[in-house]
């Protein structure tokens, strides 16, 4: 990558989720890629895929068809074993799209109210898709396993972070710093793999 440090390459994040933007940007800070947000006037992509990979590819291609720069799209979510894998690909819209995330977290905890601690296992998944010229160039995935707490804890992060406990820390993602979360999280794992690819792409 050192031979390209003199020029900065644009990379558009196909998301309006500020939490995701912050995490992805932090993981690019030691590279020669300059992250950019979607233009304010950019339309929304309707997530209809059955998997995280389907949605990430769809978002990447939707944005790439309208932009000349490389586009990086993320789809991620939480799967809870005791709920048969819910909320899954509907993590951001679980139960009812009109709910706030706080209400959504409460709904999850209510569903697990009779579930013992040892059966509250859960997994965060992230799929990243890189697109250019309306074509998928590279994809990476990340997974983080843990458990669902008995109540929300912490005020960092976003989404289900406040109820997801990282086993080796005993803390929720909402209780740890961004850099510590990135070292443990599904998105951090997927992004580190993507950064490794970006270090040798595009070919000279």
> Which listed residue (54, 74, 75, 135) is catalytic?
75
Residue 136's nearest CA partner among 187, 60, 76, 45 is 60
> Catalytic residue at 75?
yes
d(CA 55, CA 49): 5
Tally Cβ neighbours within 10 Å of residue 95.
16
Q: Is residue 179 within 8 Å of residue 157, measured between CB atoms?
A: no
CA-based nearest residue to 72, from 42, 43, 44, 33? 33
Which residues pair with residue 76 across a beta bridge?
Answer: 126
What spatial distance separates the first Cα and last Cα of the chain, rounded to whole Å?
11
* Residues acting as catalytic residues: 75
């Amino acid at each position: 990558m050192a031979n390209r440090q003199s020029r900065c390459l644009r990379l558009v994040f196909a998301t309006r989720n500020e939490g995701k933007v912050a995490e992805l940007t932090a993981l690019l800070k030691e590279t020669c890629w300059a992250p950019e947000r979607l233009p304010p006037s950019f339309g929304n992509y309707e997530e209809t895929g059955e998997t995280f990979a389907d949605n990430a590819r769809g978002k990447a291609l939707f944005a790439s068809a309208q932009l000349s720069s490389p586009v990086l799209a993320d789809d991620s979510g939480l799967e809870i074993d005791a709920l048969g894998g819910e909320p899954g690909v509907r993590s951001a819209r679980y139960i009812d799209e009109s709910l706030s995330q706080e209400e959504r977290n409460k709904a999850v905890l209510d569903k697990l109210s009779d579930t013992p601690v040892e059966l509250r296992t859960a997994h965060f998944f992230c799929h990243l898709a890189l697109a250019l010229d309306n074509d998928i160039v590279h994809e990476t995935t990340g997974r983080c396993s843990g458990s669902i707490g008995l109540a929300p804890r912490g005020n960092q992060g976003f989404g289900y972070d406040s109820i997801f406990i990282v086993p080796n820390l005993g803390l929720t993602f909402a209780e740890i710093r961004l850099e510590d979360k990135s070292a443990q999280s599904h998105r951090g794992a997927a992004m580190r793999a993507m950064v490794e690819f970006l270090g040798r792409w595009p070919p000279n």
